[in-house]
Amino acid sequence: MTLASAAIDTNLANLANYLIYSAMAVYLLAFLAYTTEWTFGGRSRVARQSAELTAQPGMTMAEAVSVAKAKAEIITAPAAPKVAVTVTGAGGRTSTLTRTVAAKAGTVDVVTRGDAAPPVDGVGAAGGDEKADRFGRIAVSLTTLAAVLHLASVVTRGISADRAPWGNLYEFTCALTLVAVLVFLGLLFSGKDVRWLGILITAGVLLGLGLAVSYLYTASEQLVPALHSYWLWIHVSGAMVCGGALYAGALVTVMYLCKDYYEAAVAQGRAKGGRWSDICERMPSAASLDKISYRINAFTFPLWTFTIIAGAIWAESAWGHYWQWDPTETWAFITWVGYACYLHARATAGWKGRKAAWLVLIAFSCFIINSYIVSIFINGVHSYAGL
């Protein structure tokens, strides 16, 4: 290592700290905006009900727009004959594909039922209320701004020490929460209607960052020799991306459980009105939440497998053995088996749904135990870098 790279750029390191505090302030504002959205969306029940009438029951705002666009195309271009193929779900949700054909234009309906039928989602946090919707949009903008600040902080921190910005638990937490936000924003900007998740994401990120700056903070420094490896980039960034994604997956699972209990209550006629049912009413359907949580977790599982294997390869080159049942390794393995249980449970009759969802929460707590409890309280070969 050269002397130049051994030095820490203190100005940049301070800048990184200012940026993380700014990001936290903006996350807080975003959180408040999401809360306002949920509150106003619930207050204006009239607006919500009228929105339900204009949009189809169970159709979210975004989908209503996309159907409207498809219809508009047919109307504005009457010269070219088009065939419309409409996908209809049991809940009445539709989406239309059109195609110009040589001769006549007819219509074809694709009917779905059973498994294939798309579920009926709630109207969303804003509940169709314009004012609430505006707050929702503000919240998304604020989240994006906060994410930019957050990203800038992580990058500056990395540049200040000229290394990967996840060399200790503080940096790991900053980067992990950033990934959770980016997963959320990524889903949002790829057209998925997941704004309802914003309130939990910002709350979770604020909690994580709060703990990081108050308890885990370590000044920007160089790494101990054990971390001098390109595997730091691969293994730790893998763990971090998995952490962020699994975090998002666990939050969706919590929402799924709430909604599923609510739906069961409705089905049995036990549902009481009031604030709680008002919130549940606006959430996506349990089936949608289950699907989203499955997708996030299933997508992350191979990545988590890869992270563990990358760790084993690193261990082999650093310690002489690829697997030593070190506490961190053990808990990574337990987490892995937990998610494997979940994936198998979903394919097993009698374990689908709620039981599988609880498995996600257990597996995610194993991840948290591994990242924090084991790192802080149990000494193993993974203990270094001042936490």
Partner 1 sequence: MTDPNDLRNDLGSDPSSEQRELAAAERLTSAPATDTNDSGSGGEGDDVVGIGVVGWLRWGWRQLTSMRTALILLFLLSLAAVPGSLVPQTSASEINVQNFHANHKLLAPLFDKLDMFDVYGSFWFSAIYILLFISLLGCIIPRTYQFVGVLRAKPPTAPRHLVRLPVYATWRTSADSDAVLAAGDALLRKRRFRVSRSGDSVSSEKGYLREVGNLLFHVSLIAMLIAFATTKLFGGMGTVVVIEGNAFSNNVTQYDDFMPSTFYTANSLDPFGFFLNSFDATYQTSGDQMGTARTYAAYISYWTGSNSKKLTKGTIEVNHPLQIDGSNVYLTAHGYAPVIKVTNAKGEVIFNGPTACLPQDADITSLCAFKIADGYVNSAGKSTQIGLTGIFAPTAVIDGTNGPHSSFPALDDPGLFITGYSGDLGLDSGIPQSVYSIDTTHMTQLKLSDGSIWKASLHPEQGIKLPSGGVVTYLGTKQWANFTISHNPGTTAALVSSALAILGLIGSLFVQRRRIWVRAVTGPDGVTTIEVAGLARSESARIAEELADLALALQDTGPADHDDVPDADSDDAPLADLTSSSKD
Among the listed residues 18, 233, 276, 319, the single contact to partner 1 using CB under 8 A: 319
Question: Whole-number minimum distance, CB 287 to partner 1, in Å?
Answer: 9
Structure letter (DSSP) for residue 196 = G
**Structure tokens given for 180:** 């959770």
**331 scored as a contact of partner 1 (CB under 8 A):** yes
DSSP calls for 24-54: HHHHHHHHHHHHHHHHHHHH-HHHHHHHHHH
Structure letter (DSSP) for residue 371 = I
Among the listed residues 39, 134, 231, 387, the single contact to partner 1 using CB under 8 A: 231
Half-sphere exposure of 296 (CA within 13 A, CB side): 30
Residue 257 contacts residue 354 (beta carbons within 8 Å): yes
* Closer to partner 1 by Cβ: residue 113 or 272: 113
Residue 70: count other Cβ atoms within 10 Å of its Cβ.
Answer: 16
97 sits in which H/E element:
strand 94-100
* Closer to partner 1 by Cβ: residue 28 or 264: 264
How many residues contact partner 1, by CB under 8 A? 97
**4 scored as a contact of partner 1 (CB under 8 A):** no
* Closer to partner 1 by Cβ: residue 39 or 330: 330
Q: How far is CA 361 from CA 2, 150, 332, in A?
A: 45, 26, 15
**21 scored as a contact of partner 1 (CB under 8 A):** no
| Nearest residue to 26 via CA among 153, 142, 197 | 142
- Site residues (CB under 8 A) for partner 1, limited to 160-219: 218-219
Question: Whole-number minimum distance, CB 346 to partner 1, in Å?
Answer: 7
- Site residues (CB under 8 A) for partner 1, limited to 361-380: 366, 374, 378, 380
- String marking each residue 49-88 x if it binds partner 1 according to CB under 8 A: -------x----------x---x-----------x-xxxx
DSSP calls for 208-228: HHHHIIIII-----PPPGGG-
Among the listed residues 346, 357, 375, 382, the single contact to partner 1 using CB under 8 A: 346
Among the listed residues 107, 207, 215, 233, the single contact to partner 1 using CB under 8 A: 107
- String marking each residue 140-169 x if it binds partner 1 according to CB under 8 A: ------------------------------
Among the listed residues 301, 357, 364, 375, the single contact to partner 1 using CB under 8 A: 301
* Closer to partner 1 by Cβ: residue 73 or 316: 316
Strand partners, 86: 96, 109
Q: How far is CA 162 from CA 2, 7, 83, 220, 324, in A?
A: 12, 9, 58, 10, 31
Question: Whole-number minimum distance, CB 46 to partner 1, in Å?
Answer: 23
